[in-house]
């Protein structure tokens, strides 16, 4: 047995003791004991708990791998996530006012990916245990919206019908105004009888749309998402913000950061989370690498009312970023890249000198790297709004406002 004192939390939410030794589900200042395996203590015993330790609100917490920080108080998690952003900026010699964090409430997640496999008695549906291939059932999950949890029996039926005997299927579910939008991967190859059974299940379960291994099986109603004044029907599996509250917080920050701009370019635009609300007051060019998402956005804009001009362009911004001569006509730019950040595009923005930038990010490290590049080009960081829509997880999202000084 080894005794350790937890010094800090790592970026994945694990406690870190001297060594370093990584200790899951612990907090700074706690004294723990247990067997050390390599650089980890996988099953610690808490000898002296932190004052910030609380009883996890979910009964599945010990077995499920879906959450990492339910043992910490909300105040601790909020300050820790703010500090993650501060430290990422400080590593580049940057600082900015951080607004109070905005946290999504429990049971607000509107999208999730379940794992499901057949059993002798039927099927098992849930999330994987921590660092394990074992599926844990989660009937009382405190993260997912009740409508997602209610679909578990239906997912089990899909597994019985279409999962192989040895493998498991991955079932991505997104709530929409028309009902659940379900996309299944790793299912059996389609044939006539299977396709008929799946179409029948789509009707029986009241799904808006069912996609199987990338092929749409049935669509009872278009699974529309509302962005501002209009609706968009995303392609199967398209990116969507995890919670309505998180989306609203990021949208409000983006709109504030570019308020008053008449011509806006939305880079990494997705299906229009920001583009369509922006088009209520400005002309917008939406740029995204996925052609299907651009078609969905364009269709949504054409069906909208009282919107400014919105143009779309399908373009890989990692390989072919917009050049300064293409950016110079815009008053403001919006960036919402994936975790890798937008290094190539930011270099072009820095040279172009677009007056204002709203940067939404899901990775404080790449965000800080990109902002440092903009700072060297004369941009000032006005404020940062941290958004915690992945409650009880180490994920940090944010939106920042920058202007050309």
Give the residue numbers annotated as catalytic, written as ranges: 362
CB 297 within 8 A of CB 232: yes
Question: How far is it, in rounded angstroms, from Cα 254 to Cα 259?
Answer: 8
Q: How far is CA 305 from CA 106, 294, 301, 351, in A?
A: 34, 19, 8, 36
- SS3 letters across 315-331: CCCCCCCCCHHHHCCCC
Q: Which residues of 239-263 are buried (b: 16+ CB within 10 A; e: fewer)?
A: bbbbbbbbbebbbebbbebbeebee
Question: How far is it, in rounded angstroms, from Cα 156 to Cα 267?
Answer: 39
Q: What are the backbone dihedrals phi and psi of residue 90, each rounded to the nearest 5 degrees, phi first?
A: -60, -30
Two structure tokens written together for 163: 């999962």
Closest C-alpha among 236, 365, 229 to residue 290? 236
Question: How far is it, in rounded angstroms, from Cα 166 to Cα 185?
Answer: 15
Closest C-alpha among 391, 111, 378, 104 to residue 238? 111
In 243-300, DSSP assigns E strands to 263-267, 283-288
Q: How many CB atoms lie within 10 A of CB 329?
A: 12
Task: Give CA 130 to chain center in angstroms.
Answer: 19
CB 273 within 8 A of CB 296: no
């Amino acid at each position: 047995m080894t005794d350790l004192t937890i010094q800090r939390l790592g970026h994945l939410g694990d406690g870190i003791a001297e060594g370093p030794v990584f200790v899951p589900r612990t907090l700074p200042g706690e004294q723990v004991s247990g067997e050390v395996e390599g650089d980890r203590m996988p099953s610690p015993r808490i000898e002296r708990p932190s004052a910030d330790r609380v009883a996890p609100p979910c009964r599945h917490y010990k077995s499920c791998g879906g959450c990492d920080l339910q043992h910490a108080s909300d105040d601790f998690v909020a300050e820790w996530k703010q500090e993650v952003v501060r430290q990422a900026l400080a590593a580049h010699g940057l600082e900015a006012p951080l607004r109070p964090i905005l946290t999504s409430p429990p049971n607000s997640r509107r999208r999730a990916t379940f794992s499901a496999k057949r059993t002798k008695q039927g099927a098992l549906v849930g999330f994987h245990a921590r660092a394990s291939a074992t599926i844990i059932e989660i009937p009382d999950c405190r993260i997912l919206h009740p409508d997602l949890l209610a679909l578990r029996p239906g997912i089990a039926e899909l597994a019985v019908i279409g999962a192989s005997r040895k493998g498991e299927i991955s079932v991505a579910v997104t709530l929409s105004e028309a009902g659940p939008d379900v996309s299944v991967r790793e299912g059996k190859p389609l044939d006539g009888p299977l396709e008929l059974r799946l179409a029948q299940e789509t009707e029986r379960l009241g799904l808006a749309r069912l996609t199987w291994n990338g092929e749409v099986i049935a669509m009872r109603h278009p699974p529309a998402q509302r962005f501002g004044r209009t609706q968009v029907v995303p392609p199967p599996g398209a990116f969507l913000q995890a919670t309505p509250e998180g989306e609203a917080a990021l949208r409000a920050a983006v709109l504030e950061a570019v308020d008053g701009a008449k011509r806006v370019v939305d880079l990494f635009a997705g299906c229009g989370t920001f583009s369509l609300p922006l088009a209520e007051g400005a002309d917008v060019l939406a740029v995204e690498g996925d052609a299907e998402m651009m078609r969905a956005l364009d269709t949504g804009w054409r069906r909208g009312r009282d919107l400014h001009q919105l143009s779309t362009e399908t373009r890989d911004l990692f390989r072919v970023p917009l050049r300064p001569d293409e950016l110079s006509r815009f008053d403001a730019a919006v960036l919402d890249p994936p975790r890798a950040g937008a290094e190539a595009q930011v270099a072009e923005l820095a040279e172009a000198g677009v007056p204002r930038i709203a940067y939404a990010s899901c990775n404080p490290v790449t965000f800080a790297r990109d902002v440092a590049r903009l700072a060297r080009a004369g941009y000032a960081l006005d404020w940062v709004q941290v958004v915690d829509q992945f409650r009880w997880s180490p994920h940090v999202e944010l939106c920042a406002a920058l202007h050309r000084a």
